[in-house]
Structure formats: C-alpha cells, structure tokens
Chain A
Amino acid sequence: DTGVSQDPRHKITKRGQNVTFRCDPISEHNRLYWYRQTLGQGPEFLTYFQNEAQLEKSRLLSDRFSAERPKGSFSTLEIQRTEQGDSAMYLCASSFSTDQPQHFGDGTRLSIL
C-alpha cells in the first residue's frame, strides 16, 4: 500500500532562489491538497485540486507561489524568490471524495538560509 509520497524530504536554499516540491497522491484519489505547517502550529490550507483543476487558493498563497497538477496525478508546488518567512513544512494530502478523510505525506521541510 503506497501512501502519499513527497519529494524532497528536506530542501535547503538561499533566500531569493526558486524551489519546487513534488507530491504523488494515493493512486485512486482525485482530490489533492497542499498545506503549510510552521513550528508549534497546525497545518494551514494553501490550495486544492480536483483532478487537474485547481479549485481553491488560500490568501496565504501569494503570487510567488504556484501549484500545478497537469494530468490529474502528481502535483508540484513552486515558490519563486524565496523569503525567510517561507521556511516551513509543506504537506500534501489526498482523498477519494468529499466525505472521505485526507491522508498526508511526510512533507517537505524547507529551510531558507
């Protein structure tokens, strides 16, 4: 049973660089979510896909952030011109339908030098 897979697990980069994270959801799940978690806080919703369509974006998702799910399978989250405040754990989750729970990957930890 393969769960949600995220890559890389840890990314260290200099301020101002661009970074891209990948998420592979559970295979039959058509809904995919991105969340951000900072130390001592619960995850915060960033964006949501149903198949390849991005249906909702949080106010937290500034114009430096972009997410894609080109074929309705894996998704990428890109952050351009990274800032210190972007340091966080970026979590991906997937679910089969609205009334089914979301299952999370182990996240990508982003550290900005």
Chain B
Amino acid sequence: QKEVEQDPGPLSVPEGAIVSLNCTYSNSAFQYFMWYRQYSRKGPELLMYTYSSGNKEDGRFTAQVDKSSKYISLFIRDSQPSDSATYLCAMSAGGNNRLAFGKGNQVVVIP
C-alpha cells in the first residue's frame, strides 16, 4: 500500500463549477499537509499548506484535513480555465520534512 493515495483520473469541469479533489494516506505520523499545482513542464507550485486537522481558506481555494479519517481535500470554487493543471497532494511528518506525494489529478476547466 502506498503512503498516499490519490485517484489520478482526469477531471473535466465547466468554467464556474466547483472542483473537488481528495487524497487518503496511511501514515498516522503525517502532520503537515500541502496541495501543489503543477503546469506542464513546470515544477510544483505551493497552493495550500496546513498543519494538523481543520480547514483553511485562501481566496477560491479551501483545504480540509481530517486526521481521524486520514483524508484530505481541496476545493476550488468558481473554477477558471487558468486552473487547468495537475494538482498534487503532499504530506510530511516533520523532522527531515520528506514529502510524500500522491500521483496527481489532472484537472481541465472547459470555457
């Protein structure tokens, strides 16, 4: 079993829709949770960073962490064509801060 599971299936949504992404994990030591956005041939760009359980909102983006269920989510409201990218969840236990990533979700927002 991989440490982080993220269903990589491509997701196509119409412009303005809510995009919902999620990851599950198996390592209960994880306490830092991140979402990165990656455009083609570019490096991952940090979107959201949360510590422990709870919600965090930043503009159109909301990240949720449920440590009891080992489940994290990212919601994108009012999606725009510029949101079309691959979204990667990542997490770490602190210490050396090695990141464990999911496979990524390719999101396409159709104008």
Contact = CB atoms under 8 A, between A and B. Distances in A.
A106 B101 contact: no
A31 interface: yes
B1 interface: no
B98 A45 contact: yes
- Do most interface residues of chain A lie in helix, strand or loop, or is the interface mixed? strand
Given A98-B94, A101-B34, A44 B101 contact: yes
A42 B103 contact: yes
Contacts of B32: 99, 101
A74 interface: no
15 contacts: A40-B104, A41-B103, A42-B88, A42-B90, A48-B97, A48-B98, A56-B96, A56-B98, A95-B97, A98-B95, A99-B51, A101-B46, A101-B49, A102-B97, A106-B43
Interface of A: 4, 6, 31, 33, 35, 40-45, 48, 55-56, 91, 93, 95, 98-99, 101-107, 109
